[in-house]
């Protein structure tokens, strides 16, 4: 297991085929999907497809979402990381998006912020990106709080796939001033 990022409480590494049960537990929960189109997965095969899709991004783009594990016992608790969006969203194209998703039992424990901050550090210090973007659906207060705590700026709302979303962005210079 090659660790990409290690924080005080977390290990962050590539998603592996062996993460299928964790992905299924995460993405089959309707509460997790409340702000993701309300379309949770229903089978372990769908979880395998999610992992294959992300692993293809590693090959094609050199980056994709990563598995997040508890350092103390290596338990899979969700994913976080950067994704290269090649398609246009909110007038942006070919940009890096910060994202995260956690199993409900691990909400409100600071893991989302801890993982997202580590991923931003990686984006600016390892990848040497100039800016990172994120978006969340209106009403997703937990995600909005994380992005604001990271210092990302809310630059307005837009519609994505019929859902009203908030757009966030941060530059390396802004991040370094925090």
Mention every residue, 6+ apart, whose C-beta is less than 8 A from residue 163. 37, 137, 138
Q: Which residue has the higher pLDDT, 144 or 162?
A: 144
Give domain status of residue 158, yes or no.
no
Q: What is the pLDDT of residue 162?
A: 85
Say which residue the tokens 């993460």 belong to. 19
Q: From residue 157, how far is each of 17, 85, 125, 136, 166 by CA, in Å?
A: 36, 18, 29, 10, 4
Total domain count for the chain? Answer: 1
- Would you place residue 37 in the very low, low, confident or very high pLDDT band (cuts 50, 70, 90)? confident
Please state the rounded mean pLDDT for residues 123-144: 97
pLDDT tens, position by position, 147-176: 999 999 999 999 988 889 999 999 999 999
**Span 52-102, pLDDT tens digits:** 999 999 999 999 999 999 999 999 999 999 999 999 999 999 999 999 999
Residue pair 96/86 in contact by the 8 Å Cβ criterion: no
Q: Which residues pair with 92 in a beta bridge?
A: 89
Q: The domain spanning residue 46 has which CATH number?
A: 3.40.630.30
pTM of the predicted protein model? 0.96
The answer to whether residue 34 sits within a structural domain is: yes
Q: Is residue 145 one of the residues assigned to a domain?
A: no
Q: Tell me whether residue 159 is in a domain.
A: no
Residue 133 lies in a domain: no
Write out the residue range of the structural domain in which residue 14 sits: 3-128
Interatomic CA distance for residues 1 and 43, integer angstroms: 26
């Amino acid at each position: 297991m090659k660790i990409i990022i290690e924080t005080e409480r977390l290990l962050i590494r590539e998603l592996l085929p062996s993460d299928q049960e964790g992905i299924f537990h995460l993405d089959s929960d309707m509460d997790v999907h409340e702000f993701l189109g309300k379309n949770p997965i229903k089978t372990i095969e769908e979880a395998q497809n999610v992992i294959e899709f992300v692993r293809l991004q590693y090959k094609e783009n050199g980056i994709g979402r990563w598995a997040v594990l508890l350092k103390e016992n290596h338990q899979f608790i969700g994913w976080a990381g950067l994704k290269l969006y090649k398609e246009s969203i909110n007038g942006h194209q070919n940009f890096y998006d910060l994202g995260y998703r956690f199993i409900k039992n691990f909400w409100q424990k600071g893991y989302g912020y801890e993982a997202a901050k580590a991923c931003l550090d990686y984006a600016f210090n390892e990848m040497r990106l100039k800016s990172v973007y994120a978006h969340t659906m209106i009403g997703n207060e937990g995600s909005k709080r994380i992005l604001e705590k990271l210092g990302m700026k809310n630059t307005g709302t837009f519609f994505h796939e019929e859902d009203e979303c908030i757009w966030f962005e941060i530059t390396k210079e802004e991040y370094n001033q925090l």
